[in-house]
């Protein structure tokens, strides 16, 4: 469950070739990404995510009509748990595709759970695998951080276009990305980190000049710009608490998994507005998260729609957490924003 097939669509995909889908460099992807998902410790982390597990379990077993007697394709099967659940829900055949050696563990689990007569584990890239038939259902846990970062949705799209029947369903069927203004001490901490890094750089320049007779000072400006991007302009993984949200959340991207293309997700741009609802607080930046829905399709809907959300939670939340994008801190008073400092 959740082994990425071809790395990050949002990180890799680029428009070009006359609008044709981007070319995937599988060798680079394998070296940079697949290897992580070949280890059981990483599978355990995902399998221990109760929000994730419960959503997929409920979506299958509360909508057995989509699986009973049907043919299913599990893209990036990982441990094989989605394939096993599909078989337990009555599927007549499940093709469980996995790009890494985790496929060997998946086969062992399939056999030990007595569904080897239904589930066929196939090791290989989804783009290269050839199935003997088209399928009624494509199920996959393809979501990465902030939905698209290091996700494998491009492989799911490939599988859909090649192997899903015209009236087939996608699990999940829809997805959304959200952003909301947040408060946090993160900006101050990251600025302190940046200051320490720059102090170390100045000591390095001085030591190199004194010891080796070479003045590295000309590189101070590009080094500073590089480190500012890293510490202040790069999104960060966080587990936000709901009381850190200080304004209304806005949807910045909606995806219909039945119709989305690789070009639709290669770059995400959005104009959105948010109202600050908490006064006398500081705006650190924006927190982002996603949710996915299991709705079936209009002409073949789910009997019970299930949502999986990674929004800030009072409880443990999910292993995805949230992504935080910082900006210069602002003081919120009376519904207005006042800068505390200006570069």
Catalytic residues: 141, 150
135 close to 95: Cβ distance less than 8 angstroms: yes
Of the candidates 172, 93, 161, 91, the one whose C-alpha atom is nearest the C-alpha of residue 126 is 161
Peptide bond into 115 cis (omega under 30): no
Angle at 322 between CA 184 and CA 264, to 5 degrees: 130
Q: Which residue stretches of the chain are H helix? A: 9-12, 26-29, 35-37, 40-47, 50-61, 81-88, 102-112, 153-163, 186-212, 220-232, 262-265
| Structure-token pair, residue 250 | 């806005």
Angle at 190 between CA 188 and CA 195, to 5 degrees: 95
Task: Give dist(CA 13, CA 314) in Å, integer.
Answer: 35
Task: Give dist(CA 267, CA 167) in Å, integer.
Answer: 29
DSSP class of residue 248?
-
Instruction: State residue 94 phi and psi, 5-degree precision.
Output: -130, 125
């Amino acid at each position: 469950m959740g082994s990425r097939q071809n790395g990050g669509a949002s990180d890799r995909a680029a428009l070009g070739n006359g609008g044709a889908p981007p070319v995937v460099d599988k060798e680079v992807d394998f070296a940079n990404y697949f290897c992580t998902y070949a280890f059981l410790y990483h599978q355990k982390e995902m399998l221990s995510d109760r929000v994730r597990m419960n959503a997929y379990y409920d979506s299958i077993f509360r909508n057995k009509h989509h699986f009973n007697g049907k043919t299913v394709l599990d893209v990036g099967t990982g441990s094989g748990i989605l394939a096993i659940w599909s078989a337990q829900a009555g599927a007549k055949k499940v093709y469980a595709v996995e790009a890494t050696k985790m496929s060997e563990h998946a086969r062992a689990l399939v056999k030990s759970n007595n569904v080897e007569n239904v589930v066929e584990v196939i090791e290989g890239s989804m783009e290269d695998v050839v199935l003997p038939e088209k399928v009624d259902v494509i199920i996959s846990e393809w979501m990465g951080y902030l939905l698209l970062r290091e996700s494998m949705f491009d492989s799911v799209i490939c599988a859909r276009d090649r192997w899903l029947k015209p009236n087939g369903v996608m699990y999940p069927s829809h997805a959304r990305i959200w952003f909301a203004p947040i408060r946090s001490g993160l900006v101050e901490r990251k600025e302190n980190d940046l200051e320490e890094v720059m102090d170390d750089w100045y000591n390095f320049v001085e030591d190199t000049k004194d010891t080796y007779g070479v003045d590295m000072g000309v590189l101070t400006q590009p080094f500073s710009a590089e480190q500012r991007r890293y510490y202040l302009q790069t999104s960060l993984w966080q587990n936000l608490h709901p009381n850190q949200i200080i304004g209304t959340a806005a949807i910045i991207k909606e995806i219909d998994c039945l119709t989305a293309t690789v070009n639709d997700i290669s770059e995400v741009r959005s104009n959105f507005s948010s109202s600050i609802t908490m006064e006398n607080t500081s705006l650190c930046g924006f927190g982002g998260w996603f949710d996915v829905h299991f709705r079936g399709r209009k002409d073949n809907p789910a009997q019970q729609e299930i949502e999986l959300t990674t929004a800030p939670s009072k409880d443990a939340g999910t292993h995805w957490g949230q992504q935080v994008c910082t900006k210069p801190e602002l003081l919120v008073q009376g519904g207005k924003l006042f800068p505390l400092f200006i570069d």
